[in-house]
Structures are given as C-alpha cells and as structure tokens.
Structure 1
Amino acid sequence: MPALPGNGERDAPFLRAASDSDRHDPLGPSLRPSIGNWQRPCKSHYWVDRGKIEWSAEWTPEQIAAGRAAEERRREHYYAELYAGWWWVRIWRWLKSIMSS
C-alpha cells in the first residue's frame, strides 16, 4: 500500500467499477483515473502507473469539487448504461421524473 505524504498514513485504494480501470503490465499494475484522498489532512493525489506512484500537485478546493462532480457523472453514466434495459429501472426513472416536475 502506498504511504501518504504529510500524515504518514497508509491507503488501500479500492476499484470503483463505475470509473476505474486496472491494467496489468510486466512492470506492475496501473490504475486510472487518479486516486485522491480529499478527506485526509494531506489531501494526497496520485496515479499508479506500471507499479510506480506518480504524485500530482495539490488541488484547490474548487478542483476537488469539480473532480468529485465529474466522478459522480461518470458513476451515473456507468450505472445508467449497466441497467438501461431493465424494466424496473425505466419505471423508476419515469417515477422520478414525475416527482421532480
């Protein structure tokens, strides 16, 4: 597990089916998109590329909010595509549209 800068804690990133991809290479694993630990004091942000950690610059609160919003959009799109053909999902979306009008 990679050590986090600043607070010395360890992190075990988990894959989110909606947005992450992992790739196996003889040099080591790669994870995309980046991993951000915005709840921790150090606010670490990094990628894993062929078994090596690539650190990012510190993000501003605005960048963090935009990143979270983009992740939520990816997640919504992923699950919309995943369950698009399920009859109960179509009914649920129809009911939600009626309730929000």
Structure 2
Amino acid sequence: MIRHHRIEARFVTEVPRDLDSGVLYISTEYGTAVHRCCCGCGQEVVTPLTPTDWKLSTHGNTVSLWPSVGNWNLPCRSHYVIRRNRVIEAGPWTQGRIESEIRRDKAAKASYYSQQAAGDASAGAQSTSHDGAQVPEIAGGWLARLLRWLFG
C-alpha cells in the first residue's frame, strides 16, 4: 500500500545523505533520481536515468518517471508510477514476471551497450546503400533500424 501519494521533485547536484520522505532528488549531473520508498517503509530507492533504465520527463513544475518503480529487492515489494508528481500504485508482480523482466532488462542493456561500442569503433564509417549512395554507418536503436531499412 502506498503512503505517499504525491512526491516533490528537487533538482540537486548531489543527493543528500539524509533523504526526506515524499521527495524525489534528481541529479542530472550524475544521471540519477533517488527517493525514499513511497510505501512508507523508508528504504532508499535509486533509479538511474540512462537509455536502458528510467526516463525522467518534466511538465512545467512536475516530473514523471518511467517505467514504473518496482521495489522487488525490498521487503515491501512496492510497485508504483510517478506521473506529474503523483504516486500511482501499480499492481503486484509474480516472481515469474519479475524474473522475466530482469532477463529482458539484462538483454536490453547488453544489446544497447554492445551497439554503442560498435558505433564507437566505426565512428565516421561510411557504407553504401542499395542505390550506390554513401550513407553514414549508424550504430543502433529504432532510428538506426529505420535508416538501414530505408538506405540499406
């Protein structure tokens, strides 16, 4: 059960040692958001802001964090979404669904970072499209797949 139904966004350079409940500390410098679990258990929850983890979006004076926060490693096992500073309780997940998501997450990270490494290795490389035009080599992601489909 969720105790904190609203969360205040605070943009900080460094996350403080002592966290206030009901506050989402956001450090863009370190690419992370940290808060005390919204169920009220008091546990610290860290959400890395990376291409393969969470995304933070701002809407005027409010923030949203996506995907949901699933605290599967905490005793409370709380699950919620932060949307426009509101904390919305989400349904519980089975152990099987949690394990499936962990596998999907690991595969997504492996794919993303291997594509980044390949892109770094071939930076500036050119390839030839089916009509003979030179196009830059693109590492990965949906845009890269679209460009390869269009020009490959």
Residue equivalent to 1:50:
84
What TM-score, normalized by structure 1, do the two folds share? 0.70
| Larger strand percent | 2
Any idea what SS the aligned residue of 2:58 has? strand
Identity score, percent: 23
Residue equivalent to 2:31:
none
- Retained in 2: the 8 A contact 1:47–1:54? yes
**Residues 1:31 and 2:33 are matched in the alignment:** no
Aligned length: 86
Residue equivalent to 1:40:
74
Mapping 1:1-101, distance limit 5 Å: 1-5=35-39, 8-17=41-50, 18-87=52-121
Q: Which runs of 5+ in 1 are unaligned?
A: 88-101
- Output the CA distance in 1 between the equivalents of 2:117 and 2:77: 34
- Output the CA distance in 2 between the equivalents of 1:8 and 1:19: 23
Taking only aligned residues, the RMSD between alpha carbons, in angstroms, comes to 2.0
Greater Rg by CA: 2
| Larger helix percent | 1
Q: Which runs of 5+ in 2 are unaligned?
A: 1-34, 122-152
- Retained in 2: the 8 A contact 1:35–1:46? yes
- Output the CA distance in 1 between the equivalents of 2:63 and 2:36: 13
